[in-house]
Amino acid sequence: METLPDHWVWPPLDAPEERRDGKLTKQKLMELFELSLRVNLKVTPIAYLLVLATSMISTQVNTMLKTIKEEERINPVWEVSRVVSRKIDAIAEEYEE
């Protein structure tokens, strides 16, 4: 049976003495917590905007599909594509401001 490479071992073989027992120190936990907060503060607004944009576009597409179906337009795909691209442009402009 093969052994794992050194860089896969936890705790790392070159870890400071206080971490070789496999436990994280309180200071390291605080550093990880602060890092996760910083990452979340940067990623969350972008993720929220993507979800919001997707929801808005989905609602608009569903409305357009109903309208197109009722009016029996010749090229519904073109109509939906046009509306979706207008919505994406509007959201992009809002985000840039």
Q: Quick one: pLDDT band at residue 1, thresholds 50, 70, 90? A: very low
Rounded to two decimals, the pTM is 0.34
Q: Where are the domains of the chain?
A: 24-96
Residue that the structure tokens 């049976």 belong to: 1
* Separation CA 14–CA 71 (nearest Å): 71
- Give the C-alpha distances (Å, rounded to integers) separating 40 from 48, 49, 52, 70: 11, 14, 17, 44
Instruction: Summarize the confidence of residues 70-87 as an average pLDDT.
Output: 71
Pick 17 or 97 by higher pLDDT.
Answer: 97
Taken in order 18, 19, 24, 29, is the CA torsion positive or negative?
positive
